[in-house]
Structure 1
Amino acid sequence: MKVSGLQRLLAVWLALVVGAACAQEPQLTLHGEVRRAQFMSYQEVPFDVPEGVSRLTVEFTYTGHDHGTNLDMGVIDPQRFRGWSGGNKHTFTVSESDATPSYLPGPVVAGRWRLLVGVPAIREGSVAQYTVKVWWQKVGTDAASGSTFSQKPIREGAAWYRGDLHMHTGHSDGSCASESGARIPCPVFLTAQAAVARGLDFIAITDHNTTSHYDAMRELQPYFDKLLLIPGREITTFYGHANVFGTTQFIDFRLGTKPVPTMKVLLDEVDAAHGLLALNHPGVPSGEQCMGCGWTAPNTDFARIHVMEAVNGADADGEKSGVPVWQQQLDRGLRITAIGGSDNHNALIKPGQNNAIGSPTTVVYSTSLSESAILAGIRAGHVFIDTDGTKGRSLILSAVSGNEHALMGDVMHVAADVTVTFTVEANDVAGMHGEVITDGKHSMLEGSIFAPGKQVRTFTFASDGKPHTVRVEIRDAAGKLKLLANPVYLNR
């Protein structure tokens, strides 16, 4: 089988990127046994939790199932009862924002916790050996655990994964019609259900400032086991909006007040939580037209902004588009990943309508369908935006110069008088044309108009040894933006 240059490039990139972290070793492992003498009793297994823990996970396993032994499980923290799952679960997680069904979210209090072991069934002469494994995550380490709501990747293997990174539910201002037609806060499950119907692989639910939706997301993730649910929230300030992904910790949104006097303080808090921040709809006006919608935060250090929502809902073109704002930052020499988000506020909006879930779709090359891998792909800029949110339209930009290969988002170091060859691979773009944007200047991609099926075009760039950004857009016959690829950066 012939291997394309792009396939070689992706294989090289995959080999260089660390995949989803292996399962972390537990901080505590406890062993014990239960005999017939404990029949119809509740045993307590104590364990100590240190200060500064944000999330606690417990796994309880035991022997004797094939000899009629059944053991139940619950837990009490130093202050209160935190849940009981009986024999229907062998693992649970609790944190301030979310918990496994059967358990209560809330602060992970330091001190002596007690695992409750109920003994409803054990035969005379039987001995059951049990093992309790305890993991905890300290404050600021949520994003390092692979995925917040699933213990393993939703899907293994490197691929281009399609998702929506901006949506709201009834936990903020998302609303929809009830069964009787009344307008009600829209339940989270409808958002996940609509995302599956649109063929998405991942979504980030980003309700305004709150973290209350995370508990619903944890409950839904096992059911929606083909859809990755990423924790997000829209930091909504008087000076602009920004999504934060990959952490469940509270981020203070009160920009301009004593607790959060500057954008630097807010960014420091996000970084400490290992979150990923994306400026939202930066091309939208502020003031009475849309209070706090455009980005006006004073003294924003854009060198610390790694992601920007270039396409919000139907605003791929026109005066509300974020693409020109993003391009301005590229022209300043910054590397910022462009993403898209539907900004959906009603999960029942039909496909094709403004702000329908998945319109636009952000497509990420990732080592697996896990939270950490998807966010790593976004940070790396291995992203293109499908503004219509189709199920198969694609645009992949790559480059090669000598032995150096790059995928969109990557940096190539190219000396003067060296030629870089770019390859554009597109699909489902019949009748459309490509545009090459070099340092903000547009030119037609040679060989347009595209025919049906997979299309491949190449073009070259003669390096002068200086920094440049080269990216590609695909537009329809009316000039509307349909696909946007992040840049390949030269000498950045």
Structure 2
Amino acid sequence: MGRRDLLRSSVVGGVAAVLTLSPVDFAGADGSGGGQETRETTGHLPHGVADWVHLPVRVPPGVRQLRVSYSYDRPEVPPGVPGNACDIGIFDQRGTTLGGDGFRGWSGGARSTFGIGGTQATPGYLPGPIGAGTWHVVLGPYSVAPQGLRFHVAITLGFGPPGRPPAPRYPPERAVGRGRSWYRGDGHLHSVHSDGARTLGELAAAARAARLDFVVSTEHNTHTAHPFLGDHAGPDLLVLAGEEITTRNGHCLAYGTAPGTWVDWRYRARDDAFRGVTRRIHRAGGLVVPAHPYCPYLGCAWKFGHQEADAIEVWNGPWGADDEMAVAEWDALLTRDPGPGRRWTPAVGNSDAHREPDVVGLPQTVVLADDLERHALLAGIRAGRCWIAESAEVELSFSATGGRGLHAGIGERLPTRADDEVAVRLEVSGAPGALARLVTDEGQALLTPLPAAQPATVLWRTSSSRAAYVRAEVRRPAGDGGASGLPGAMVAMTNPIFLGGQ
């Protein structure tokens, strides 16, 4: 790839920092007798290249199938310096405009080959007609070594009559519930449709084994699992559609969107695009949930702020230091927004399971909803009527009662006068030997061991003059005996009960 091959580096269709290469042209291909033709291209991307590299492909009429394979070099780099990592996807003749109709699939770095045809496509890609015009293979050089990145792309067109994609089998919006009750779910899961190793059927089986009531499909940057989700839902398991939006400045879950909704990810925090993205998620009936905001990996940490968030994923997979930081930041947000009528941001937890031995349902969010139905569940999460547990073995209830007999539960406000005494009650089962921790806007207010005999009850008294809110945590004892001053791993945690206000 020489200087003449670098056609332009600019903002294209609202997508910032795009480098467009010279096109791969099949204009001379003769598909009248069927068969196939292949074109190959190679190039070198320098360190610091644009986020997105577009390779135009001029597709003639009469194409039945398109296949792409790619590879790139991985030179040695100094310790601590990111090496080469390059994602891939494709947009069809309708263009590459941000959020537009041209998206046909994305596999990130999970696959080196993909194919699209009229009747079927590689998971992560959308089947359908191969329209004539300029398609764009999109390379996403996630990180580039100081030596640069050498790539090779091969495109094969198969000629013949077009096929018709199968009708989508979207999941129903309701399962058999228990009326107004607590429902357990995992809202962050991956399958072979992105970088997961489980099939959708295996994910559904794992969810049932974990005794979950609902799950959300959240493949990276693609919605191609949605048309198959209905095959794995049932009266006992509500399956919701969604997506994990993996921008260069953090990941976000589109939680419970209408099936068939695709959300673009090609922007950074500085591009001022995220507000429009959240509007798209909300129009599709979903929630905006920043995922693993303190993830230590390149591009994972959340940099967009929380003004647009409906909830925050503060616990992602087995408990770790990044979860501890996420809970601390979320708690600080609660402290800034304690007033009556003010919007606050609830916490959720999900497994982010990709493959064995990742445990589906570790953790899980337990939601108080009017029924096991999509809109009811999302309303419960948005209102903060939810808590997080490491498994279905853990049961918990948390409430506060005022001096005038008023009562509030998780995510609610207990209206009290400043001098009214408030009785806080926490009941826990399934966590013998753990510690109960009550936290207010001032910090830890109580830390007490739970007895081996369960269920166990913890009682505590306060007032709104001393606590703007109170929330509960159930923790294991610190592995170092408390020498570090850090609490042990989380077993369960609640959203807050706010105190005060009439």
TM class by shorter chain equals 0.5 to 0.7
Whether contact under 8 Å (1:283, 1:325) holds in the other structure is: no
CA shift at 1:316, angstroms? 4.6
Identity of aligned residues (%): 30
Within-5 A mapping of 1:240-279:
240-247=250-257, 248=259, 249-256=261-268, 261-279=272-290
Matched, 1:356 2:359: yes
Structure 2 CA distance, aligned partners of 1:257 and 1:386? Answer: 32
Structure 2 CA distance, aligned partners of 1:452 and 1:317? Answer: 30
Letter in 1 for 2:236: K
Letter in 2 for 1:489: F
Structure 1 CA distance, aligned partners of 2:432 and 2:457? Answer: 12
Tell me, which stretches of 5 or more residues in structure 1 are unaligned? 1-80, 83-95, 107-147, 176-185, 350-354
Equivalent position of 1:237 in the other structure: 247
Matched, 1:386 2:395: no
Whether contact under 8 Å (2:243, 2:263) holds in the other structure is: no
Equivalent residues, number: 326
Structure 2 CA distance, aligned partners of 1:199 and 1:257? Answer: 38
Of 206, 210, 223, the residue aligned with 2:222 is 210
Equivalent position of 2:408 in the other structure: 406
Within-5 A mapping of 1:269-348:
269-285=280-296, 290-297=297-304, 300=305, 302-317=306-321, 321-333=325-337, 335-346=344-355, 348=356
CA shift at 1:251, angstroms? 2.0
Question: Can you list the C-alpha shifts for 1:409-430, whole angstroms capped at 9, x where unaligned?
Answer: 1122322211111111111222
Equivalent position of 1:90 in the other structure: none
Question: Can you list the C-alpha shifts for 1:208-260, whole angstroms capped at 9, x where unaligned?
Answer: 11111011102222xx43111111110111111111112132222223499x7
Whether contact under 8 Å (1:284, 1:320) holds in the other structure is: no
Equivalent position of 1:444 in the other structure: 446
Cα 1:271–1:239 shift into 2, 3 Å? same
Q: TM-score of the superposition, structure 1-length normalised?
A: 0.61
Question: Can you list the C-alpha shifts for 1:430-455, whole angstroms capped at 9, x where unaligned?
Answer: 21221110115113245x33232212
When the two chains are superposed, the root-mean-square deviation of aligned CA atoms in Å is 2.9
Whether contact under 8 Å (1:316, 1:323) holds in the other structure is: no
CA shift at 1:206, angstroms? 0.6
Whether contact under 8 Å (2:450, 2:456) holds in the other structure is: no
Cα 1:440–1:386 shift into 2, 3 Å? farther
Letter in 1 for 2:443: K
Structure 1 CA distance, aligned partners of 2:406 and 2:192? Answer: 48
Whether contact under 8 Å (1:315, 1:321) holds in the other structure is: no
Matched, 1:104 2:167: yes
Structure 2 CA distance, aligned partners of 1:204 and 1:236? Answer: 16
CA shift at 1:469, angstroms? 2.1
Letter in 1 for 2:458: R
Equivalent position of 1:191 in the other structure: 203
- Describe the SS at the equivalent of 1:200: coil
- Describe the SS at the equivalent of 1:330: helix
Equivalent position of 1:43 in the other structure: none
Structure 1 CA distance, aligned partners of 2:302 and 2:284? Answer: 23
Cα 1:152–1:473 shift into 2, 3 Å? closer
Whether contact under 8 Å (1:382, 1:408) holds in the other structure is: yes
Structure 2 CA distance, aligned partners of 1:483 and 1:320? Answer: 13
Structure 2 CA distance, aligned partners of 1:366 and 1:430? Answer: 28
Equivalent position of 1:228 in the other structure: 238
Structure 1 CA distance, aligned partners of 2:275 and 2:463? Answer: 39
Matched, 1:155 2:190: no
CA shift at 1:268, angstroms? 2.0
Equivalent position of 2:212 in the other structure: 200
Letter in 2 for 1:295: W
CA shift at 1:491, angstroms? 4.0
Within-5 A mapping of 1:18-97:
none
Equivalent position of 2:79 in the other structure: none
Matched, 1:169 2:191: yes
Q: TM-score of the superposition, structure 2-length normalised?
A: 0.60
Structure 1 CA distance, aligned partners of 2:440 and 2:269? Answer: 41
Question: Can you list the C-alpha shifts for 1:316-369, whole angstroms capped at 9, x where unaligned?
Answer: 5467642112112112216211111111111x42xxxxx311111211122221
Whether contact under 8 Å (1:421, 1:458) holds in the other structure is: yes
Structure 2 CA distance, aligned partners of 1:377 and 1:151? Answer: 15
Equivalent position of 2:143 in the other structure: none
Equivalent position of 2:432 in the other structure: 430
Structure 1 CA distance, aligned partners of 2:395 and 2:336? Answer: 28
Cα 1:266–1:471 shift into 2, 3 Å? same
Structure 2 CA distance, aligned partners of 1:284 and 1:257? Answer: 17
Cα 1:414–1:332 shift into 2, 3 Å? same
Question: Can you list the C-alpha shifts for 1:283-313, whole angstroms capped at 9, x where unaligned?
Answer: 223xxxx22111013xx3x243220111011
Structure 2 CA distance, aligned partners of 1:163 and 1:445? Answer: 28
- Describe the SS at the equivalent of 1:255: coil
Letter in 2 for 1:485: T
Letter in 2 for 1:269: R
Equivalent position of 1:65 in the other structure: none
Whether contact under 8 Å (2:319, 2:490) holds in the other structure is: no
